[in-house]
């Protein structure tokens, strides 16, 4: 049932439940629920959330409710002891909430969940040493979360990931001495990140890259003796960067 407030537009409808059948009628007298605003039996996520936020002692009663949104919200407020005993819910939103609350060492059953966002939540919460189980996840967004948190010692395993965004994150996090693995990446954006972080001698190896931004980044890091040949590069910005470094050296500002 819904009711419009006087003067409201036709779209401004408020879901009202039947208070006569509500098991929490006593709460109305105590101001713990408000019809059309704070109500656990209405089919309104906002009203349900407001009710259980005020009355978390009732959340456990709705963990097996027939309405998925009521279950999901109840899982936010119910005691962890009850949430961790729940069977895997049929609805992905409920599973996302459960995964956000379970202890990190109890997420194993959700590593291969059918829902991408459930797996992304797992990747964000799992202990770093356990992330190897998601290295080959079918979804690049899950692998991207893994790349953001994987320990440096294991990160090189993702240097050849099929997705550019994942490789870009790997290039941002790999220690400079390990970036040589990615100097010949097929994507220019990845190589730009690599060139900007390489050790000087490795940066010199990228001065002939076909992408001018890669060359520009390499010029900033390569040894002075290696960049002189780019003083007449076809790209004006690269030439300018070379001349600036050489001039700075003559002025004693580039050591």
pLDDT of residue 229: 87
**pTM score over 0.95:** no
Angle at which helix 188-195 crosses helix 212-221, to 10 degrees, equals 10
Listed as own residue / partner, the contacts of 188-192 with beta carbons closer than 8 Å and 24 or more positions apart are 188/213, 188/214, 189/164, 190/164, 192/217
Q: What is the DSSP string of 23-37?
A: TTHHHHHTTS-BTTT
Question: What does the block give as tokens for 150?
Answer: 């994987």
Q: Report whether 62 contacts 89 (CB < 8 A).
A: no
Question: What does the block give as tokens for 51?
Answer: 């009710």
Q: Rounded CA gap, 67 and 206, in Å?
A: 58
Question: What does the block give as tokens for 93?
Answer: 């939103």
For 254, which DSSP code? -
Q: What is the pLDDT of residues 123-156, one digit of tens each?
A: 999 999 999 999 999 999 999 999 999 999 999 9
Q: Rounded CA gap, 180 and 169, in Å?
A: 15
Q: Report whether 157 contacts 179 (CB < 8 A).
A: no
Residues of the chain below pLDDT 70: 1-17, 27-30, 253-255
């Amino acid at each position: 049932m819904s009711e419009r407030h006087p003067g409201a537009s036709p779209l401004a409808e408020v879901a009202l439940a039947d208070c006569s059948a509500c098991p929490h009628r006593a709460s109305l007298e105590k101001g713990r629920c408000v019809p059309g605003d704070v109500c656990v039996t209405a089919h309104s996520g906002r009203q349900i959330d407001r009710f259980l936020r005020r009355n978390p002692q009732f959340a456990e009663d709705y963990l097996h409710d027939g309405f998925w949104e009521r279950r999901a919200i109840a899982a936010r407020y119910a005691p962890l002891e009850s949430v961790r005993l729940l069977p895997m819910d049929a609805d992905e939103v409920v599973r996302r909430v459960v995964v956000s609350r379970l202890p990190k060492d109890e997420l194993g059953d959700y590593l291969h969940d059918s829902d991408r966002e459930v797996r992304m939540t797992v990747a964000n919460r799992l202990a770093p040493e356990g992330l190897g189980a998601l290295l080959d996840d079918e979804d690049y967004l899950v692998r991207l979360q893994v790349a953001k948190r994987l320990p440096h010692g294991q990160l090189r395993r993702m240097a050849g990931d099929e997705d550019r965004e994942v490789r870009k994150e790997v290039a941002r996090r790999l220690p400079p001495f390990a970036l040589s693995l990615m100097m010949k990446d097929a994507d220019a954006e990845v190589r730009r990140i690599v060139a900007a972080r390489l050790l000087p001698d490795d940066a010199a190896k990228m001065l002939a890259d076909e992408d001018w931004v890669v060359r520009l980044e390499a010029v900033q890091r390569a040894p002075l003796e290696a960049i002189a040949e780019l003083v007449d590069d076809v790209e004006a910005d690269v030439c300018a960067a070379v001349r600036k470094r050489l001039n700075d050296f003559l002025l004693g500002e580039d050591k």
